[in-house]
């Protein structure tokens, strides 16, 4: 994130408050966008491609509880945030 400096000298609150609110709105939009990206549901194919593993290995990881999966009807989905968390756990030394 790019840092910005705001210098305040003899400014009335009617000018100052909108700038502060605008800054907060931008920060909230950025945080909301990043959290939405993490909650994306991926198919088995997308997940295996992301991890560069076969569908059989993905099934094995799911069965062993390494990667949590969600069943929606007959379809299996994986949360992107869960995949990233599992990668962190697997790569701990």
Whether residue 13 has pLDDT greater than 80: no
CATH at residue 60? 1.10.1660.10
The pLDDT score that the predictor gives to residue 38 is 57
In-domain check, residue 34: yes
Residues 51 and 84: beta-carbon distance below 8 Å: no
**Which of 83 and 30 is assigned the larger pLDDT?**
83
pTM: 0.57
Which structural domain range is residue 63 located in?
Answer: 41-90
Whether residue 14 has pLDDT greater than 70: yes
Structural domains in the chain (count)? 2
Mean pLDDT of 69-76: 92
Residues 51 and 20: beta-carbon distance below 8 Å: no
């Amino acid at each position: 994130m790019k840092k910005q400096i705001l210098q305040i000298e003899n400014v009335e609150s009617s000018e100052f408050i909108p700038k502060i609110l605008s800054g907060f709105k931008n920060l909230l939009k950025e945080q909301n966008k990043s959290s939405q990206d993490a909650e994306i549901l991926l198919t088995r194919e997308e997940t295996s491609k992301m991890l560069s593993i076969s569908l059989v290995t993905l099934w094995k990881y799911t069965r062993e509880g390494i990667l949590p999966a969600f069943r929606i009807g007959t379809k299996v989905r994986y949360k992107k945030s869960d995949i990233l968390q599992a990668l962190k756990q697997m790569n701990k030394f």
